[in-house]
Amino acid sequence: MSTKAPQTRISGQTILDELVRNMELGKLELAYSVLLPCIFSVYLHPEDHARLKGVQEIIRDDARRALSARMAESNKNSVFRRGGKKKQYRIAQNDWWIELFADAEGAVPPGDVEIHSELNDVVQPGYRGVKTTLIEREPSVTAARVVHDRESTRGRSPKVFAEIRYQDDSGPQTYFVTQGEVSIGRGGEDLWVDLPLYTSDEISREHARLRRDASSGRFSIVDQSRNGTWVNGRRLARGTEMELPDQAEIGIAEVVTLNFEAKR
């Protein structure tokens, strides 16, 4: 918990600062990665929530930027682990989820912000986020209420358009495609990729990009690398977009194979 004194009015900047602090407190160190919380439920006093209602979307957008910037900074300053590679700071979802709630039960005082975070949508023992408050007090919103609020706000899980199975230095992985465009590569200190591959530098920082046509549901792929991308054994011409079959083996620099399967 923080030891800051209560303030009369909560500001958007204070909420951003507390989200970043919560993320840092909730990180989980793994063998090859440092996993950061990416699901945030933010509770405010009803009067504070009402006052900020008109700018909540701006606060959420700025918060995503602030969290991404801090994650990029952490990757830049990450120390080398055994074997000569840095641990990668990452999140388990494709993007941050942030929602502001009014605490109708009155447990959160005016000028305070209470944040409950999780590392992933599916909570597992030992893989939980943290609870933090701005004012020095014990968090008061119950876990059951947080779960109910998240489920009622988020509704059904996002539609999965495709599934990508692969194995890199961090072990077997599955990536669910829920958006229209997916960047693939090693990423870097100043470069975010949707599907980060933890392996040798033969793979470019942004190696390839998948795109989905919303009208047809068909996927295409573009190679953006120096060491090449293959689809079912055929090397792609760099910079040329190629339509993907519903099932395909995508070779990334002949180092990692992505098993792609479209869902219809």
pLDDT in tens, 127-150: 677 999 998 888 989 888 888 888
Instruction: Give Cα 227 to chain centroid, integer Å.
Output: 28
| pLDDT, position 3 | 47
168, 199 in Cβ contact below 8 A?
Answer: yes
pLDDT in tens, 147-163: 888 888 876 556 789 99
Cβ within 8 Å of residue 225, ≥6 positions away: 185, 203, 204, 207, 208, 238, 252, 253
Q: What global pTM score does this model have?
A: 0.59
pLDDT in tens, 210-257: 999 988 999 999 999 999 999 999 999 999 999 999 999 999 999 999
Task: Mean pLDDT check: name the lowest of 99-103, 169-173, 216-220.
Answer: 169-173
Cα→Cα distances 175→132, 165, 194, 230, 239, Å: 30, 6, 10, 19, 24
Residue 102, class by beta-carbon neighbours within 10 Å (0-12 exposed, 13-18 middle, 19+ buried)? middle
Taking all residues of the chain, what is their mean pLDDT, rounded to a whole number?
86
CA 162 – CA 98 distance, rounded (Å): 24
Q: What's at 260, amino acid-wise? A: F
- pLDDT confidence bin for 80, thresholds 50/70/90: low
CA 124 – CA 140 distance, rounded (Å): 22
